Structure 1
Amino acid sequence: MKTRTPSWDDLRILLAVHRDKSFLAAGKALGVAPSTVARRVEALERTLGRPVVHRANDGTRLDAHALRLVALAEELELGLASLVRDGGDAEVSGTVRVSLPEGFIRPIVPALARLRAKHAALAVELISESRVADLARGEADVGIRIVRSTSPSIVSKFLGRASTGLFASRAYVDRRLPGAKLPRDLAGLHEWVGFDDSLDRLPHQVWLREYGASRFVFRSNSAIAIERAVLEGMGIGLLSEMQGRTFPGLVQLDLEASPPHVDVFLAFHRDARKTPRVRVVVKEIEAETRRQLG
């Protein structure tokens, strides 16, 4: 039987089912009834001449061959979003959305400002939030990540490793840490600054507890808030050495064991490199991040 080419509407439905794992949730995301989603999936399966979605009590799953269609739908979605933002202009113009962990805001924003001075038609939207923006879904064009993406449509470029350490304010060190040394058996005597319960399973937070941190006097889901609390002398905190170098008022402590490092990746959609505005931003962020990581 001769198969026809799936339409964008068919692929859009399939992409929503893949992301939301049920017809009901996909319908809500698209603003249509679940029965409409089911009919469109059935129509797509007739077009292809084979099943693509299987329903079970715990949701839906796609056949392996259907994931190629998902990747195609992601590329089309990103391309359409790009055309809306820059009008299809081949020059370095339009808006680029950049997603960053908070710890990278200080070094990257000046780099983006320098880039903006070179390209007057370029605009930047920066997303920094606890929920990581979905690059495959077009929520951002470029992102710095601390884990490698598993999406086949996303390029994850390893930039280096960010070393971390325990830091305290100069006033805290002068008052309570002679020689800026912190043996493991004395860690329980100090005040600590760390992430809140929502991020309590992060490897660095786990390492803090293993080293002996127990009396947390300030907790937050914000890396900048933690950095500020350490600067204000509220307690000892684990920061990247990149953050620590930024502030002369911080002192890195001498420890018995080194905290874990962080792998840093630059992530962007595979087809984004074809877009001039995204390409120049990727190049600038890569160069500045590599410089910061040493």
Structure 2
Amino acid sequence: MKTEFWNWSDVRVFLAVLRQGSTLAASRKLGIAQPTVARRIEALEHQTGLTLFDRDTRGFRPTENARSLSPLAEVIEEAARNFAIKTRELAEQRPIRITAPGYFSDRAMEIFTEFSTLHPEIAIEFVHSIKLLNLAEGEADIAFRVSASEPDESLVCRKIGTEHFALYGGQSYADQFGLPKSLDNLRGHRFVTFKRNDVPDVLHNWLHQHVLPDQIVATFSEIDLMYSSIKAGNGLGLVHARWADTQDTLLRCFGNIEELSRPVTMLIAPDAYRRQEVKAFTKFFAPRYAAIFR
């Protein structure tokens, strides 16, 4: 072999001439000029150091070398076809998979609706999960996180707001026990909390530091169950303030507990961020969400 074989497109030309019997017929099949076909066959023979076709007035007749290489060329052809099919599949529009800490306010959902109206071709799929999904492993494309810890440096990060927390109770609890007016008035009240191993327990730990153990009457591993328990009047609980203030069934005890305030970040998996639809969503959503709470 005179040089290392590297031009895979010549295999396509080789098979066309082999099957059609002439460079003219192959050129029609491939949709390229006959002289180009002839040059590619000559280049392939030069690269391989083999005579692949005997030329005569009746066309190109494959040599024994050509017949020996034919099965391998067909393998390359099939691999190229499968490669093209796979690239088309990967390029097809996929939904943007989004995970969030259990809720979005109505105003935030309006941003999703506005984006979907402007881009009906882009689907959005909400992945409901209390635990923190692993973006690097493809469990979601975008995650909205409320956390004081630094995010994974491999992720694209946008800070889009600050989340505040406060104590809330239900109307029936307020009617029976009243509501504390400050952190100094927590004694004598009942509390419910949320705790599970795969979720940071910052709120749970804060509550344990500020009330006696026997004041905590229930601990839930599902956040929705804790919210329902607060609404039912079983006890007071720590809730996202912006969301809770939109709920008629929740009553705020006093102001935000500032030591629990956490930045809201929008994290995007690097592979997902290479997709144009994900970039478009990020550019659209982030400033609008930040403006809501500015």
- Please indicate, yes or no, whether the TM-score normalized by the shorter chain is above 0.5: yes
Q: Which residue of 2 aligns with 1:88?
A: 91
Q: Which residue of 2 aligns with 1:68?
A: none
Describe the shift of the 1:85–1:211 C-alpha distance in structure 2 as closer, same or farther (beyond 3 A). farther
Q: Which residue of 2 aligns with 1:238?
A: 238
Structure with greater strand share of residues: 1
Cα-to-partner distance string for 1:90-118 (whole Å, 9 max, x where unaligned) = xxx43111111113376544432332233
Deviation at 1:191, TM superposition (A): 1.8
The whole-number CA distance in structure 1 between the counterparts of 2:204 and 2:156 is: 28
Q: Which amino acid aligns with 1:266?
A: M
When structure 1 is superposed on structure 2, of 94-103 and 214-223 the one drifting more is: 214-223
The whole-number CA distance in structure 2 between the counterparts of 1:188 and 1:86 is: 61
Q: Which residue of 1 aligns with 2:79?
A: none
Q: Which amino acid aligns with 1:149?
A: P
Describe the shift of the 1:85–1:172 C-alpha distance in structure 2 as closer, same or farther (beyond 3 A). farther
Q: Which residue of 1 aligns with 2:177?
A: 176
1:204-219 correspondence to structure 2 within 5 Å: 204-212=203-211, 214=213, 215-219=215-219
The whole-number CA distance in structure 2 between the counterparts of 1:141 and 1:197 is: 24
Cα-to-partner distance string for 1:195-231 (whole Å, 9 max, x where unaligned) = 1353796222111111115333332233332222212
Q: Which residue of 2 aligns with 1:254?
A: 254
Q: Which residue of 1 aligns with 2:12?
A: none
In structure 2, list runs of 5 or more residues that go unmatched.
1-85
1:34-53 correspondence to structure 2 within 5 Å: none
In structure 1, list runs of 5 or more residues that go unmatched.
1-82
Matched, 1:221 2:221: yes
Q: Which residue of 2 aligns with 1:144?
A: 144
Q: Which amino acid aligns with 1:177?
A: G
Cα-to-partner distance string for 1:177-198 (whole Å, 9 max, x where unaligned) = 26x51453x5342221111353
3-state SS of paired residue (1:217) = strand
Describe the shift of the 1:221–1:105 C-alpha distance in structure 2 as closer, same or farther (beyond 3 A). farther
3-state SS of paired residue (1:104) = coil
Give the TM-score taking structure 2 as reference length: 0.60
The whole-number CA distance in structure 2 between the counterparts of 1:281 and 1:256 is: 31
Deviation at 1:236, TM superposition (A): 0.2
Matched, 1:167 2:152: no
3-state SS of paired residue (2:130) = coil
The whole-number CA distance in structure 2 between the counterparts of 1:117 and 1:156 is: 25
Q: Which residue of 2 aligns with 1:17?
A: none
The whole-number CA distance in structure 1 between the counterparts of 2:202 and 2:216 is: 17
Q: Which amino acid aligns with 1:202?
A: D
Give the TM-score taking structure 1 as reference length: 0.60
The whole-number CA distance in structure 1 between the counterparts of 2:251 and 2:283 is: 33
The whole-number CA distance in structure 1 between the counterparts of 2:199 and 2:97 is: 29
Deviation at 1:265, TM superposition (A): 0.8
Q: Which amino acid aligns with 1:168?
A: G
Sequence identity of aligned pairs in percent? Answer: 18
Deviation at 1:245, TM superposition (A): 1.4
The structure whose Rg is larger is 2
Cα RMSD, aligned residues only: 3.1
1:1-294 correspondence to structure 2 within 5 Å: 87-88=90-91, 93-104=93-104, 108-147=108-147, 148-152=150-154, 154-177=155-178, 180-184=180-184, 186-196=185-195, 198=197, 202-212=201-211, 214=213, 215-254=215-254, 258-270=258-270, 272-294=272-294
